[in-house]
Structure 1
Amino acid sequence: MAPDSDRDKNSTPIAVDPRDPEFYQNPYPLYDLIHRGDQTFFWKNYDHWCFTGFKDVSSLLRDRRFGRQILHVATRDELGLPPPKPHVADFDQTEKHSLLALEPPEHTRLRGLVNRAFVSRHVEQLRPRIAQLANEMIDTFIASGDTDLIQNFAAPIPAIVIAEMIGLPAEMAPQLLKWSNRMVAMYMFGVTEATERDANQASIEFMDYLRSQITQHRRAPREDLLTHMLTAEIDGTRLNDDEVISTAILLLNAGHEATVHTTGNGVKSILESGIAPATLFASEAQVAATIEECLRFDAPLHMFTRYALADIEFGGRQFTKGETIGLMLGAANRDPKRFNQPNKFDPFRNDGGNVSFGAGIHFCIGAPLARIELQIAFSELFRRLPHLRLAEPPSYANVYHFHGLQRLDVAW
């Protein structure tokens, strides 16, 4: 929806192509520009308003007048939306029951059935396994003197951890990553039909695999999340197979994506900062603070969208029912009104905090697990490789929403 003259009088529309390498390699100069104004702007390329202020983003993440779902309160005809594309029907099926795409009461029911597996006291028990995996990965490349840290360290660890939690074989992790990467490509700006068809095929293969696993788990129940989703009840109801499959795919995709990006972005930030790694991992408290600064300084997700669920007002602007807004997580984390020297990587700052995991009912269900994975992986990496350094200038992948490195070539 294009801005009309009244709504646009306080903010100049901005045209920045999210596929422009100059932008997605470093979006922070744009954020700095926006922060010098009223921190809200109309992004012409996306055709919606965006919020960059930490206070606004934090508030909107919790504002129940905006939601991740819209077709539960309006029809496609009412909103002027095109019909679904037949060639992505299977991909759409994986999203139909996704926690990220639902609002209460469906969201409440699904999250309630899954949440207990991710509470802090449960994921704390995974610390020894995560440390074991981190060291096993390091063992595979330490003798070579160099490696691509994304492929050989950042990606495998969270993929194996979430697969094992769900109840899938660790050896399936590489295949799960391939399916996930093909599906996540759907969130690129200006996605092509070829990408859509490939993501749809990956969805078919992923769902077929999970159906076979559901059959096995029904025959032989186990102590894992998949069995729990198949057997647990809330108010006398259980998840159906489609709901279990959507939830498993979301957990697998989201359960590694942000952690991979934060590992790559965070190691890059540490190595470029010049701060001695030994000072960053000297205590549990400092390890935790370092990870939070990594999440703030170079966030793994830069935009999260919401629909206005009714005609409403926020921040002096009117939004019509069905209108999309963009919550700029990466920009909010660099808000100079919230952080002192926001463009400085400072793991010792006393004004920490971030919105990288979201907030409100859609706060990342895997945040406790991700934090533990990052704390252990970073600690083990810099303990084993104290002289780690960048071997090549890192570059970010062309997927603006998901802000992560293509490669991280390091040496020691």
Structure 2
Amino acid sequence: MTIHALSVSQDPRDPGFVQDPYGFYADMHRTSPVFYWRDYGMWCVAGYDQVNALLRDRRLGRENRWGAPLNHVESREHLHDFDRIESGSLLEREPPAHTRLRTLVNRAFVSRSVERLRPRIRALANELIDALPAGQPFDLLPSFATPIPLTVICELLGVPVDRGNDLLSWSHAMCEMYVPQRSHETELRANRASAEFGAFLTAHIEEHRHNGADDLLSALIAVRDTGEKLSDDELISTCVLLLNAGHEATVHQTGNAVKTILEQGGDPRRFLATPELAAASIEETLRFDAPLHMFTRYAYEEIDLGPVTLKPGEQVALLLGAANRDPSAFDAPDEFRPGRTDQKNVSFGAGLHFCIGAPLARLELQESLAVLFERLPDLTFEIPPRYRDSFHFHGLESLVVS
């Protein structure tokens, strides 16, 4: 089969596609789960089994070992600060560097067990609900979905919560780098945000070396493994990754989950009435409407995808949102079924790049939404929710409820 036989055109910024990519995924599952997406210029994989396998396949990786992507001739000098932070990120490294970094970060992160954060998350959720305007519509995203993961990751890491607005601004600007067809102005904003974020953390890390605080940042500074430690650049990259990933996807998933649960009708408390129900329901919201839909990998060797063989240096897009709706892997994939026996979503990835913050994200979602619907069981949409213009990071632009 040729590239043309399985070549598909679908503008990722088309409004209809942004609001509902699942119809497109269903078409691909029927016709070819492996296809060439012309708008991205790369092969894509939509089937669950293959996505799950490729996420674990060491012949693929995140690290770009060839410099700029193939056929990319533009200079990246204007992205110096962004690239400097990315170069030390766990997300962009492969073994042996990744193994060393992940071991050090795990040693610090896991030692601060996320389970003990349950009471803090519940208390924070109640505080935010108490502050909502009585009898008036409000946007759940800035008033509830954003403050919880942002506050928790700041407190956990030891970063001042009162710098939250700066952190949000820097994070949003940097995440825009992953949106298709980004502009030069977007790149400049991301680089500027990276420089400011890096400068803030450099000063904050230096202060932490001497204050003896009991937080994750102090643990990352002190962590050792057979004499190895994190360099200052690695510390900054790790903090940026934890701060950005520690709230960005959880904010989107909170909005997606609330939308999904309200669309089921009836009393929403039935989905979160016990810890067991809450865990099953949150896991199903992650499968049903994930916050991240595309994750790319570079081929390090020739890899047979079936209709095509990837060459070293070529990229492949693994479509997490499509894999979660694969009818060959899930019974009635377009139905919301908490507690389904075939629950095995790939929303947090798989393999050595499995999301390090997955336990924290699950905990935040379970506790915050249990409190939300326990306190506000009659929550209804004031305005029909719409997804923002971003395919990769799949989340609502607002969630106005009353």
TM-score by length of 2: 0.96
Match of 1:286 in 2: 277
The amino acid across from 2:222 in the alignment is T
- Note if contact 2:269-2:370 (Cα within 8 Å) is conserved in structure 1: no
Match of 1:34 in 2: 28
5 Å-filtered alignment, 1:249-264, equals: 249-264=240-255
The Cα shift of 1:388 comes to 0.6
Residue number among 61, 64, 69 corresponding to 1:67 in the alignment:
61
The Cα shift of 1:24 comes to 1.0
- Note if contact 1:159-1:255 (Cα within 8 Å) is conserved in structure 2: yes
The Cα shift of 1:230 comes to 1.4
Match of 2:163 in 1: 172
Residue number among 364, 368, 372 corresponding to 2:359 in the alignment:
368
- Note if contact 1:39-1:52 (Cα within 8 Å) is conserved in structure 2: yes
The Cα shift of 1:8 comes to 2.5
Match of 1:8 in 2: 3
- The CA RMSD over aligned residues, in Å, is 1.6
The amino acid across from 2:146 in the alignment is A
The Cα shift of 1:81 comes to 4.3
SS of equivalent residue, structure 2 residue 132? helix
Distance 1:312 1:357 in 2: 23
SS of equivalent residue, structure 1 residue 389? coil
Distance 1:118 1:346 in 2: 32
Distance 1:369 1:288 in 2: 13
Offset from partner CA, 1:271-326 (integer Å, 9 cap, x none): 11114212111221111010001000000000000000122323353110011000
Could you tell which deviates more after superposition, 176-185 or 260-269?
Answer: 176-185
- Note if contact 1:130-1:376 (Cα within 8 Å) is conserved in structure 2: yes
Identity %: 51
Distance 2:269 2:68 in 1: 56
Does residue 184 of structure 1 match 2:179?
Answer: no
SS of equivalent residue, structure 2 residue 8? coil
The amino acid across from 1:156 in the alignment is P
- Note if contact 2:273-2:370 (Cα within 8 Å) is conserved in structure 1: no
The amino acid across from 1:214 in the alignment is I
Does residue 273 of structure 1 match 2:267?
Answer: no
SS of equivalent residue, structure 2 residue 296? strand
Number of aligned residue pairs: 402
The Cα shift of 1:165 comes to 1.1
Offset from partner CA, 1:256-285 (integer Å, 9 cap, x none): 111111100010001111142121112211
Distance 1:297 1:142 in 2: 31
The amino acid across from 2:173 in the alignment is R
- Note if contact 2:298-2:312 (Cα within 8 Å) is conserved in structure 1: yes
The amino acid across from 2:200 in the alignment is Y
SS of equivalent residue, structure 1 residue 390? coil
Residue number among 290, 300, 303 corresponding to 2:294 in the alignment:
303
Match of 2:49 in 1: 55
Distance 2:225 2:111 in 1: 22
- Note if contact 1:120-1:368 (Cα within 8 Å) is conserved in structure 2: no
Offset from partner CA, 1:93-132 (integer Å, 9 cap, x none): 1101111100011111111111144449800011111111
Match of 1:93 in 2: 84
Structure 2 residues not aligned, in runs of 5+: none
The amino acid across from 1:58 in the alignment is N
Distance 2:202 2:136 in 1: 42
The Cα shift of 1:7 comes to 3.9
Distance 2:15 2:319 in 1: 19
Does residue 337 of structure 1 match 2:328?
Answer: yes
The Cα shift of 1:142 comes to 4.9
SS of equivalent residue, structure 1 residue 36? helix
- Note if contact 2:112-2:216 (Cα within 8 Å) is conserved in structure 1: no
SS of equivalent residue, structure 1 residue 143? coil
The amino acid across from 1:178 in the alignment is S
Distance 2:305 2:112 in 1: 38
Distance 2:153 2:186 in 1: 26
The amino acid across from 1:146 in the alignment is P
Distance 2:221 2:86 in 1: 19
Match of 1:3 in 2: none
Match of 1:313 in 2: 304
Match of 1:122 in 2: 113
The Cα shift of 1:135 comes to 1.1
The Cα shift of 1:221 comes to 2.6
Distance 2:194 2:264 in 1: 40
